Amino acid sequence: MTVYDPPAEEARSISVGALLDDPALELDARLVAGASGLGRQVKHRRIQKSGLALVGHLHGLVPSRIQILGETEISYVESLDKERQADAAQHMFSLGLACLIITRGIEPPKAFVEEAERSGTPLILCSERSSSAITAIHTLLDERLAPRTRIHGVLVDVFEVGVLLLGKSGIGKSECALELVMRGHRIVADDVVECDYRPPGMIFGEANDMLRHHMEVRGLGILDIKELFGVTAIRERKRIDLVVQLELWNPEGGYDRLGLESHSREILGVPVREVVLPVRPGRNMSSIIEIAARHELLRQAGHDSAREFIERIEQDPALGATAIRPAAQYESSIPPPVAGRRR
């Protein structure tokens, strides 16, 4: 089995300005101060509640995470005299925060507005309560900052199983995918598969924007699958359930014949079941991939035909002696051709 190193994960971030303008952010939020810092980058998918920073305890505060202050924290600040409010604001904004959000529509203390403007830190007022704001921000950041990687391969939806075809260039990945589309299955991505992580441990794939709905077939060039076969032949996005590694037939490859071996490939730290299929003239690879997808559905449902077969043999050794024989014995049992007859 050929082993490939997994591609490197792409670092992702989003600017505070882009976050506020994102139509998917379902919050009533407005900028109060610090407009010059709207280009600051948010690099973490989880927010921080920064109450301890108000008393000068800055340990563990990560500037590239969104900071939130709620009603409890603001009520504490308002209980301080003006000098201590200014000290609290200075401590809070001294780290170059990506942004600070105040929830429940509570107007921020004047010292916070002034310090946010002076330091260029976006200060945002949100009318929703803290729990609602945190949920909405997490939902958006899970989408925008999800760990991503790019894989050279083909992703096809076969019987609702996301099958990722891998192999060396020219092995026939696109041709297999085209045959599967002609059989009624759906293409997700050809050549470049953009993969991203979704909790709790799922990997989704989609096409590169430039290549979406297109496929390259040697000899024909670039094909628009959507125009050729219609919208039912494409799918925008699919979870990757099975990796199929295509490789040229090697007589000494030692391929799994019983189906007892279990292999997986890690994509963004998530193990995805993998099978290796040898390619050689005369093998109908698209049919075999269909069977692999059906077998994966059975396996996910708890049905393992290989193990059940072995259990039957273990229960009846005599059955195993007749059921599994060397290939040479099978060949020797085939009667020779009769002269003058076509076989």
Catalytic positions are 152, 173, 191, 257
Q: What is the DSSP letter of 36?
A: G
CA distances from 309 to 221, 262, 289 (A): 45, 16, 22
Q: Tell me the pairing of strands 221-224 and 214-217.
A: antiparallel
Can you list the positions of beta strands (E) in 173-290? 186-198, 202-207, 214-217, 221-224, 237-239, 242-248, 263-267, 270-279
Helix H or strand E segment including 78: helix 71-78
**DSSP of 161-202, one letter per residue?**
EEEEEE-STTSSHHHHHHHHHHTT-EEEEEEEEEEEEETTTE
The residues, ordered by sequence, that sit 6+ positions from 266 with a Cβ below 8 Å of its Cβ are 6, 272
Distance between CA atoms of residues 59 and 92, nearest Å: 12
Tokens 């800055």 correspond to what residue? 58
CA distances from 36 to 7, 19, 120, 295, 341 (A): 36, 15, 5, 57, 90
3-state helix/strand/coil string of 302-331 = CCCHHHHHHHHHHHCHHHHHHHCCCHHHHH
